Amino acid sequence: FLSLPLQAKMSRPVQARRLDGIDKNIWVEFVKLATTYSKVNLGQGFPDFPAPAFLQEALRGALGGENHMLHQYTRAFGHPPLVKVLAQFFEKLLGRELDPMTNVMVTVGAYQALFCCFQAFVDEGDEVIIIEPFFDCYEPMVKMAGGTPVFVPMRPKAPKDGKLMSSADWQLDPAELASKFSAKTKAIVLNSPNNPLGKVFSRGELELIAELCVKHDVLCISDEVYEWLVYDGRQHIRIASLPGMWDRTVIIGSAGKTFSATGWKVGWTVGPDRLLQHLRTVHQNSVYHCATIAQEAVAQGFQRELMLFGKPDSYFVQLPRELQQKRDLLVQSLVAVGMKPIIPEGTYFLVADISEFKSDVPDVPNSDEPYDYRFAKWMIKNKGLAAIPLSAFYSEAHKGSYTNFIRFCFAKEEATLKAANDILQKWKQEKTS
């Protein structure tokens, strides 16, 4: 042993095969660019306004209260007060009885809920259908589990009357969707309301997906983190409530989105025990547990919301109302500079068409970087405004067809949106002078 050189370096490859091809991540680059150059960051999806006072109060109470056990481990699959109130809440939403211990599991944000689903259900060789554009982590998560993602894009139809497009104008082609299902399909990921488009799937669209799931005996991983963020009187429909779907659906939610507290990383899954038992196995053997004190405060937040359900004081009623105004502000600002926003029916994201700006952005010689990436980088560096290129939300094969758009997040203080407006107005003047 002593004869070995002291600093013998490892020479064998260290990376596990499951990480092949998934090491690139848009957020690392764009978060860095935004912190370095941007004056106004409408890139990453998080509110810059405070979480509601009642939630902060609940956390303070839990932290300094008499129950010092809130600083210790709690039940692995969810702090009992939180799973109980989530079960009560979802009983109301789904119109079915739920057992808090077997039909609900708390996770470290919706992110870990997704990870648990792919690890629990996807085997080598299984295919998972992902609807494009999609929240970018679905693809690497499917691959890490050994599965093959199969992509199907929503196709935009421009409105004939010259009006601004709506996220509702982006639709799945029923025949194309049906052609992706086969004996190899294990699951489909549905994200309604959809990040990045803001599309809220209609009952008809959900029925189409549900029919295919039942016909091909496929699971549905239903990412509903933006369930309360729907606008213009639209309704979020839960696919688990359609015939034949409860038994094959895992609903995923997030306190981060629901209560504007993304840093707390409290999420949940709701579904039948026959599915959730396998999520518990993954959770138990990976993360095991999510911060007790955050779960306690979220439980209190839900108890309040249960009492105020559907009433004007409910945060789930107030938040979308405020966000709709913010959406409309941003739409006006973007239209002023010549971008064409696609009006989102839900979420706090807005995608805008930037095809009119090609002459503003210098070509980069010998670069195959798509136009939306070049535009977003140029806008951060030259205008101080950060947004995310839409093609980041597409598979490699389909990216090339969607490079004329960028995504903004409008869950921001009025002052932030005003500052964005100032940048856009100044830009407009420069363009016209």
Chain contacts with ligand PMP (rule: CB under 6 A): 45, 109-111, 135, 191, 195, 223, 225, 254, 256, 262, 265, 267
State which residue, 255 or 330, has the beta carbon closest to ligand PMP: 255
State which residue, 77 or 115, has the beta carbon closest to ligand PMP: 115
CA distance 15 to 33: 28
State which residue, 85 or 423, has the beta carbon closest to ligand PMP: 85
CB 230 within 8 A of CB 193: yes
State which residue, 254 or 292, has the beta carbon closest to ligand PMP: 254
DSSP label of 343: B
User: Rg of the chain over CA atoms, in angstroms?
Assistant: 23
CA distance 404 to 358: 9
Residue type, 341: P
State which residue, 257 or 383, has the beta carbon closest to ligand PMP: 257
Q: Using N-to-C axis directions, what is the helix angle for 371-383 and 26-37, rounded to 10°?
A: 20
Least Å from the CB of residue 258 to ligand PMP:
9
Measured CA distances, 431 to 330, 337, 384 (Å): 19, 8, 16
Least Å from the CB of residue 132 to ligand PMP:
13
Residue 130 gets the label, from left (phi > 0), alpha (psi -120 to 50) or beta, of: beta
Residue nearest to ligand PMP as judged by C-beta position: 109
Least Å from the CB of residue 85 to ligand PMP:
18
DSSP label of 13: -
1 burial level (CB within 10 Å; 0-12, 13-18, 19+)? exposed
Least Å from the CB of residue 109 to ligand PMP:
2
Is 38 in a helix, a strand, or coil? coil
CB 75 within 8 A of CB 299: no
State which residue, 256 or 344, has the beta carbon closest to ligand PMP: 256
Is 148 in a helix, a strand, or coil? strand
State which residue, 74 or 192, has the beta carbon closest to ligand PMP: 192
State which residue, 46 or 378, has the beta carbon closest to ligand PMP: 46
Q: Which of 409, 416, 421, 369 is nearest to 377 (CA)?
A: 369
